[in-house]
């Protein structure tokens, strides 16, 4: 009884369950309504979960989430099938298994982001406001609902930022080892750890080099076993360079700016209200922004230019954005308290 009480009153556990409570309902609605055949990414990961390894050469190595969904489907697929809506045409039990796995990972992403916000000496209420701005984002709902692997990559990004704020060398090494298996885009996140990580930088580089050797060995073995051309993935990755000219103008267009702002939605009103009412707030906020946060924004911009999916890539910067929203909420709450005195 005492142990159960400790669990129920544990802040991390409560925040984690809060994240699930906020995300699960809208996410299941998205899963029920969307035709998964319209999402090429989803088709790839559903295929991987069914051991169909001849997939898109860019995405086929991302096995962690699909295999997690596969195991859950084997254990609980019979139950999941009973929940299938009559109009759902795809394999519902497997899609639902992805939903469960991704909702848990999204809640973990939310918890890590909440802990990251708290490292900026932000109060609990303001931190919850920042967390809500993340959980109510439309891409958060897509990430939890659909058979994708973005949820785990978001966990890696939030964990990277948190490990740097806490100077947690063990977490940084773990991320250098695991990150490349989650998504190839980790190559743009790793410099944050290599540049701003704890301990001797040469040790971090050695860990990352060892991780690279293991990853390339894994990709080579994967292609050999699946009878895929070994060079096809490298060619496909390099093909992203051809997107640069087209996406450069796309990223800086008015439409793209609108889409990026809509990632945050009405929550942008909080920093807007603070900055417009007090010009000094911009300077105060800027002084609290650290170098890893700026480096992540640069990393996200590079990924957006290479991928062409502007708003989806900028969603990866949400841990930085929600810190600004939380600090804005803190400033507004302080002004409200002062006005009542």
Predicted confidence at residue 39, as pLDDT, reads: 76
Stronger pLDDT, 90 or 106, i.e. the higher one: 106
Stronger pLDDT, 306 or 29, i.e. the higher one: 29
Predicted confidence at residue 124, as pLDDT, reads: 92
Query: What confidence category does residue 58 fall into, taking pLDDT thresholds of 50, 70 and 90?
Result: confident
Model confidence at 3: pLDDT above 90: no
Average pLDDT value for residue range 257-279: 83
pLDDT by residue (tens digit) across 216-251?
Answer: 898 888 888 877 776 666 666 666 566 666 677 666
The candidate with the shortest Cα–Cα distance to 184, out of 56, 292, 70, 94, is 56
CA atoms of 331 and 322, how far apart (whole Å): 14
- CB neighbours (10 Å) of residue 161? 25
Predicted confidence at residue 4, as pLDDT, reads: 59
Dihedral (C-alpha) 5, 11, 12, 13: value to the nearest 10 degrees? 30
Which tokens go with 151?
Answer: 């949820």
Counting residues of the chain whose pLDDT is more than 70, the rounded percentage is 90
Burial category of 76 from C-beta neighbours within 10 Å (exposed 0-12, middle 13-18, buried 19 and up): middle
Mapped onto helix, strand or coil, the DSSP state of residue 83 is coil
Q: 211 CB contacts (<8 Å, ≥6 apart)?
A: 176, 177, 179, 180
Which region among 135-139, 252-256, 286-290, 296-300 has the lowest average model confidence (pLDDT)?
252-256
- C-alpha pair distances (Å), 280 with each of 251, 291, 328: 30, 21, 13
The candidate with the shortest Cα–Cα distance to 334, out of 112, 121, 15, is 121
């Amino acid at each position: 009884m005492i142990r159960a009480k400790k669990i129920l009153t544990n802040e991390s556990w409560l925040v984690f369950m809060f994240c699930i409570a906020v995300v699960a309902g809208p996410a299941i609605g998205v899963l029920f309504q969307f035709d998964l055949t319209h999402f090429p990414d989803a088709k790839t990961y559903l295929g991987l979960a069914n051991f169909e390894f001849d997939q898109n050469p860019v995405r086929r190595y991302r096995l962690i989430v699909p295999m997690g969904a596969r195991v859950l489907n084997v254990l609980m697929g019979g139950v999941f099938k009973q929940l299938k809506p009559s109009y759902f045409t795809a394999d519902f039990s497997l899609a639902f298994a992805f939903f469960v796995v991704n909702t848990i990972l999204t809640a973990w992403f939310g918890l890590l982001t909440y802990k990251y916000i708290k490292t900026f000496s932000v109060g609990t209420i303001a931190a919850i406001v920042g967390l809500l701005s993340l959980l109510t984002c439309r891409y958060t709902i897509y990430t939890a609902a659909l058979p994708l692997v973005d949820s785990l990559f978001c966990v890696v990004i939030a964990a990277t930022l948190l490990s740097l704020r806490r100077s947690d060398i063990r977490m940084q090494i773990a991320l250098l080892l695991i990150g490349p298996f989650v998504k190839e885009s980790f190559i743009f996140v790793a410099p944050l750890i290599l540049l701003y990580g704890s301990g001797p930088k040469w040790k971090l580089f050695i860990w990352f080099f060892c991780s690279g050797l293991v990853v390339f060995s894994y990709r080579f073995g994967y292609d050999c076993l699946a009878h895929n051309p070994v060079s096809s993935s490298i060619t496909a990755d390099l093909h992203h360079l051809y997107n640069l000219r087209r996406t450069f103008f796309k990223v800086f267009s008015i439409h793209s700016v609108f889409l990026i702002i809509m990632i945050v939605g009405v929550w942008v009103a909080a920093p807007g209200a603070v900055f417009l009412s007090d010009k000094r707030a911009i300077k105060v906020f800027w002084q609290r922004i650290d170098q890893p946060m700026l480096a992540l924004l640069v990393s996200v911009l590079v990924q957006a230019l290479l991928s062409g999916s502007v708003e989806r890539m900028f969603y990866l910067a949400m841990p930085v954005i929600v810190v600004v929203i939380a600090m804005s909420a803190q400033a507004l709450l302080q002004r409200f308290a002062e006005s009542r005195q």
